[in-house]
Structure 1
Amino acid sequence: MGKSRTKRFKRPQFSPTGDCQAEAAAANGTEPEEDDGPAAELLEKLQHPSAEVRECACAGLARLVQQRPVLPSLARRDAVRRLGPLLLDPSLAVRETATGALRNLSACGGFEVCDDMVTKDIMTPLVALLKECSTGLDSNEMSPQKKKDQNKNSIENIANEAINVLWNICECSSRAVSIFNKEGCLEIVLKYLSRFSTNVDLAISVAYCLQTVTEDNPELLKSFSTPALHVLESAMLSPVSSMEYLLLKTLVAGTVWNLKDIIPSKSQAEIINAILKILSEVLEMDAGETVIQMKEAETQRIKTAAETEDTLQSANGDDLMEDEEMEEIPHRRKVRRKTFISDLLPPTDKELRETIALLTAQQTALEIIVNMCCSEDPTDDEWEELSSSDESDAFMENALSECGGQLLSPLCLSHEVHTALTHHLLPKKIFDKTAFPNSVAVDVCSRSPTWKPLIRKMNTIQCRALVCLQSLVSLLDVDHLGGPAALQTLAQHLSQLLFSQPDFAKHVDFLEAISSALRALLQTMASKNIPQCMTPDQLMTLCTAGVRSSNVGVRVNVVSILGITGSVLAKEDGTLDTLKTIGYSLLEVATKDPCLVVAGEALDALFDVFADGKEAERASVQIKLLSTLKEFQPVFKMKLIRPSTCQAGDMGSIPASRRSPGKEMATHSNILAWEIPWIEETGGLQSMGSQRVGHD
């Protein structure tokens, strides 16, 4: 089972004007203009003497950078270096819009753009801006009340934009994280976080940033003083007055988990229990019911506002003026027509924000739990270095022997985490989240353009819960999971989820998540000799769809499921036809799949299925397994010499223990190098299961 880190999950892209619009434009069939004209004109206006013109130019760029095709043009025209100085512009409005433009650029541009921003030294003015905002908030406490409120709001808004830029860049660039450490940014952002009781939006942005920069950053951990930890503690223990505060507590809990290495041993159990108590409270909430209630509250608020507007108009006895009349009386306030309901909405929709905060908190909670279930794993670079060295073969054989067949499994659960998980009943709460979203809530959201994106967030929570379930099934004892009967019930539940969707193969994220959970569950059931519930027809339906998927993770999972199920059936009577079908499927994957990771997994599965049992021996002869493998051996060796067609982007979607081509190539190269000759010497495949150590 693979290791999943929070940063490896695709996170939402935030911007001052909403989500990145490039995908939406493509979905609507409207492609943004690629003309350099708007970009060039806006960039020229950044140097204009008028602050209003500079502000408008920055606002225009904030919208423009959300159109992916214009990014190369902006890069050619050095947009980052032109926007950078405006972070320290004399005008607060210009600072805010310039920071917003950079926020959108970093959110929509991805890793390459963020790395380029660091190369072009955006961190220097950004850090200076954060320091000035911190000083400005302190000095504002002494200013007259009206000016104080205005300046405080502007400075906090600028700080919020700047923190989001910092978060985006640090998530994509290790150089940015290094600068964060050296420039003492921790003290600055913690000062912002300490204002959580008066500005939760800023605190949430800081919490996101802290969760990113504290992950795998031992240098920064040394900078956490006792007062710094007290700031985190205060935020984590703050009362929940809204869903946004619930999200804040969840994010801070994730940051505290990242700091576990600097927490004294005597306090570990207490801290872990506090973290999981927060996550338990978050997951206990019914998101579907919350969606329904919040949407009803929004509808009622709009209706009440409309009735109030009618009452005011009746009391005044004035008819609604036409636009022409309004133009003749410029100093008189325009009376908006009550038919424009959207005009009655506040600038931010509280109910929608609250609902999004809850859904995001639940997604984050599930991701934190997955990370808790993982120990440190060798990096991809380390695997590649090992696989290319002369000692790689010896290392692989020793690792397999010492780990009982599991190649440095990254899953690990400390006693403190195990105790807290079971004490707060998290396995049950995670199981509940694997169900499909509330159909009424989905219907409510589908009827509102502003609420429709929440459907995807609810589906994402289901996928995260399935990934989380995979980790727990792999780690907890059968008794802690409810016993054999509970595992069989869980298998039936997952099968029902899968096959209730006639087009499940089209939903790649869902298919990868549920196949990962099924793989872990079936492996656990097989190891404990618990009868499995998936029928041969269901198995082949899943695997037929899975092996055709473009997602490497899905293909790896379904091939593994075939191997697990086949190895169980091989020990039973009357399974010859099913074993032949499984054998043909695995041979086709092993010999035809372009990705070495998948082909290697298929080889592993073949050796497991046909390692032992009379039915397996008969099936292997009838499908000509040995001769096919002998013919395939030189072909596979050539694939090892040449780069695999399995792309880096595909690798990122599969479990981390399967993510490094170097690791997999070395493992499966060993299998073909000594397994097939050994089979020839012994004259068959029987008894392989008791003598080979290549797979658990």
Structure 2
Amino acid sequence: MGKAKNNKFKRPRFSAEGLSVNAVKEVLENEDEVEADSPAAELLEKLQSPCADVRECACASISRMVQQSQTIPSFLQRDAVRRLGPLLLDSCVAVRETAAGALRNLSACGSPEVCEDMVRQDILTPLITLLRECCSGFDVNPSPKNLKSTVEDVANEAINLLWNLCENSSQAVSLFNKAGLLDVLVLCLERHEQKVELALSAAQCLHTVTEENAELLGSVNVAVLSALEAVLLSTHPDMQHTLLRTLAAGSLWNLKNSIPVGRQAQTLSALVATLSASLDLDGAALIPDLLQAEAARHANDAAHAGDQRAESPEEHHHLANGAEEEMEEMEEEEGEERVNGGHTARKNKDFSDLLPQGKEELREATALLLSQQTSLEVIVNMCCSDDPSDDEWEEMSSGDESEACEVGSLQSPLCLSAEVHSALIHHCIPQKVLKKAEFPSPAAVDACGRNSSWKSLIKKMHRVQCRALTCLHNILATMDTEPLGGVAGLQMVAQHLASLVFSSAEVLKEEEFLEAVTSALRSLLQIMASKNIPQCMSPQQLMGVCEAATRCDVMSVRVNALAILGITGSTLAKETGSADTLQMIGTALLSVASKDSNLVVCGEALDALFDVFADGAEAEKAARNIHLLAALKALQPVFKSKLRKEGKGNYSPEQLCVLDNIKVNLRRFIGYLETLKKN
């Protein structure tokens, strides 16, 4: 489908983690009482208490309550942001932490407009002061381990609040730049040896603020690049450090234009090696192994506890402030992910920091999947050609949906340079991406499905597969296909992609997945046609794929399906005895061209008809059988009328240009068919 970029994958975080045991206990004991009489007003009033414990408890209660999005308006109406803001600089460290946690959850559980409003209310002024105070206190009089809140804990909450604001507010990013907060993130990142959770939060935030941020590039110095490269070269084998290295690689790619020329080759090599190492990890085997390790640990704990029954995974999770229920609920209501032309702007819910300390294995599995997802997203961005797409129609039509308006806007001069291409091939990235497109394994899905604490990983596994399919599409569009196995390999990939559409009834409801798989299949079939490689799907398979896809509400999926029909039909037209199949394809395309409410989709159907019936005895025979000439003559005035009445205001200038070309080509194609009829 031409150019593709996956630039912003939003991962707001939800957490009340870091609260003291007493604070959580007080929240639970007082919850019924608080809810009885205007809870928002009462809690906000308690923020002014002279007692630090009361202020902390009120912040903790607010933090919990705003995780239910329906409660957020009642807090905003009572000026919660302005009341919580000063507590970021409270004399009590625990209050600072819980206040930052409450604001963090408010930013994460609210809409982007909530984040914009928080920025307008100047929450960044105390937040910036807090972050600088935290960083100056990292190595000065380190907090005793028995304290319920440490400077690093406060910084972690504050960084996550900053991250959420920057993900949702361009003004927040501008203020980030003006305040020079890059050095703050670097200081937190450098503490990865002591505080990997803090370093991960900083890396996530850095990965966000370095994208599409030309203003920041002037602030990138040797210290910033050296800190990222030091993380990249770390050797800790655990999954959290694997994720940390992957995020550092993504940030370096975002900052590639700031890397001195003399260091670019070395940095690129280390960057791709990091992504490759992440993709090498076999989640299909590691996730069941981690599940078994958790079960063994619980059994061992039970044996040592004597007659005190060891907590089950479900019980343990429940103790984490209801984290499991919140995770499952929010995963079900996961923010809409919009993909068009390979560009994805999504709001993922990542709950890894909700996990209590007793869930090390689940934390590791979550970090593994997020690392692989991020690696694939970075590779998608690397595999972007500067050259205009050969498929002009898709290039133009992809702008129809508002969520795709930025596609093609960030084509870097380094994209797919010889160095990038060589690095990707050297590390066998195409093969590894293809392997991830076959993920997840039924065994891993089944194992997670049997454990309530691990069910949320199923969606994360499928998300990795979707990213791999989008990545495969970009690789097919910009790189040589030999690494995928030549002719036989491409045919096997096509069969696999077709089979994925029918892997389960639920798949047909997954718009993200259908977009990814049809995009990859379209690119693959186009390449096979250009190389005269025989198609490997039966007519029944082909029509089944397209029937499933054309039922999708997402315009780009319908466009992909029609393009697949056109590509396959034009190839079949060269083969003897294909008239019956061409007739079936032509009937389907005519139906869409005359009935679909979207002119872009109608235009794609007409374009596909032109390709299928452009030449050949079999195409002529099929065209006569379906009365193609008469059908197009009847459709022509309808299409022209719709374009005249609906075009302006509903479609972009580029789309209107393409639709005008379709209108002209329709007139010419009708003339061609009339000539055939006379002969």
TM-score, normalising length: structure 2: 0.82
- Equivalent in the alignment of 1:676: 666
Percent same amino acid among aligned pairs?
50
RMSD: 2.9
SS in 1 for 2:569: helix
Superposed CA deviations along residues 506-539 of structure 1, whole A, max 9, x for unmatched, are 3333222211111110011011111111111111
Which moves more between the two structures, 271-280 or 592-601? 592-601
- Equivalent in the alignment of 2:309: 338
Which of 340, 356, 362 pairs up with 2:366?
356
- C-alpha distance in 1 between matches for 2:668 and 2:443: 60
Contact 1:620 1:626 in 2 (8 A): no
- C-alpha distance in 1 between matches for 2:61 and 2:387: 44
* Structure whose CA Rg is larger: 1
Give, as a single letter, the amino acid of the residue that structure 2 aligns with 1:350. Answer: E
- Equivalent in the alignment of 1:429: 432
Contact 1:170 1:212 in 2 (8 A): yes
Q: Would the alpha carbon gap of residues 2 and 73 (structure 1) be closer, same or farther in structure 2, given more than 3 Å must change?
A: farther
SS in 2 for 1:137: coil
Superposed CA deviations along residues 198-222 of structure 1, whole A, max 9, x for unmatched, are 0011101111111111112122111
- C-alpha distance in 2 between matches for 1:578 and 1:73: 61
Give, as a single letter, the amino acid of the residue that structure 2 aligns with 1:449. Answer: S
Tell me which of the two structures has the higher relative contact order, counting C-alpha pairs closer than 8 angstroms and 6 or more residues apart.
2
Structure 2: gaps (5+ residues): 18-33, 318-355, 398-407
- Equivalent in the alignment of 1:509: 512
Note the 1:57-76 alignment, pairs <5 A: 57-76=58-77
1:190 CA drift (Å): 0.7
Residue 634 (str. 1) matches residue 640 (str. 2): yes
Residue 161 (str. 1) matches residue 189 (str. 2): no
Structure 1: gaps (5+ residues): 19-32, 142-146, 314-336, 388-406, 645-659, 688-696
- Equivalent in the alignment of 1:495: 498
Q: Would the alpha carbon gap of residues 410 and 262 (structure 1) be closer, same or farther in structure 2, given more than 3 Å must change?
A: closer
Residue 528 (str. 1) matches residue 566 (str. 2): no
1:125 CA drift (Å): 1.4
Give, as a single letter, the amino acid of the residue that structure 1 aligns with 2:110. Answer: G
SS in 1 for 2:87: helix
Note the 1:274-423 alignment, pairs <5 A: 274-310=270-306, 337-338=308-309, 340-341=311-312, 347-375=357-385, 413-423=416-426
SS in 2 for 1:530: coil
- C-alpha distance in 2 between matches for 1:409 and 1:604: 29
- C-alpha distance in 2 between matches for 1:545 and 1:250: 36
Contact 2:383 2:416 in 1 (8 A): yes
Contact 2:633 2:670 in 1 (8 A): no
Residue 236 (str. 1) matches residue 232 (str. 2): yes
Give, as a single letter, the amino acid of the residue that structure 2 aligns with 1:629. Answer: L
Contact 1:85 1:125 in 2 (8 A): yes
Give, as a single letter, the amino acid of the residue that structure 2 aligns with 1:183. Answer: A
1:581 CA drift (Å): 2.4
Residue 42 (str. 1) matches residue 13 (str. 2): no
TM-score, normalising length: structure 1: 0.81
Note the 1:609-648 alignment, pairs <5 A: 609-621=612-624, 622-623=627-628, 624-638=630-644, 640-641=646-647, 643-644=649-650
Which moves more between the two structures, 228-237 or 80-89? 80-89
1:456 CA drift (Å): 1.2
- C-alpha distance in 2 between matches for 1:344 and 1:34: 26
Contact 1:610 1:686 in 2 (8 A): no
- C-alpha distance in 1 between matches for 2:2 and 2:72: 35
Superposed CA deviations along residues 460-512 of structure 1, whole A, max 9, x for unmatched, are 11111111111111222233432212111211222233334355313333222
Residue 91 (str. 1) matches residue 92 (str. 2): yes
- C-alpha distance in 2 between matches for 1:626 and 1:275: 53
Q: Would the alpha carbon gap of residues 52 and 599 (structure 1) be closer, same or farther in structure 2, given more than 3 Å must change?
A: farther
- Equivalent in the alignment of 1:197: 193
- C-alpha distance in 2 between matches for 1:408 and 1:95: 40
1:681 CA drift (Å): 5.3
Which moves more between the two structures, 72-81 or 156-165? 72-81
- C-alpha distance in 2 between matches for 1:34 and 1:338: 34
SS in 1 for 2:138: helix
Residue 226 (str. 1) matches residue 228 (str. 2): no
Contact 1:586 1:606 in 2 (8 A): yes
Superposed CA deviations along residues 33-88 of structure 1, whole A, max 9, x for unmatched, are 99993223222222222222221221122122222222333332222222222211
Note the 1:648-659 alignment, pairs <5 A: none
Superposed CA deviations along residues 345-399 of structure 1, whole A, max 9, x for unmatched, are 9734111111111111111111110010125799xxxx9xx99xxxxxxxxxxxx
- Equivalent in the alignment of 1:453: 456
- Equivalent in the alignment of 2:121: 120
- C-alpha distance in 2 between matches for 1:514 and 1:34: 47
- C-alpha distance in 2 between matches for 1:548 and 1:138: 59
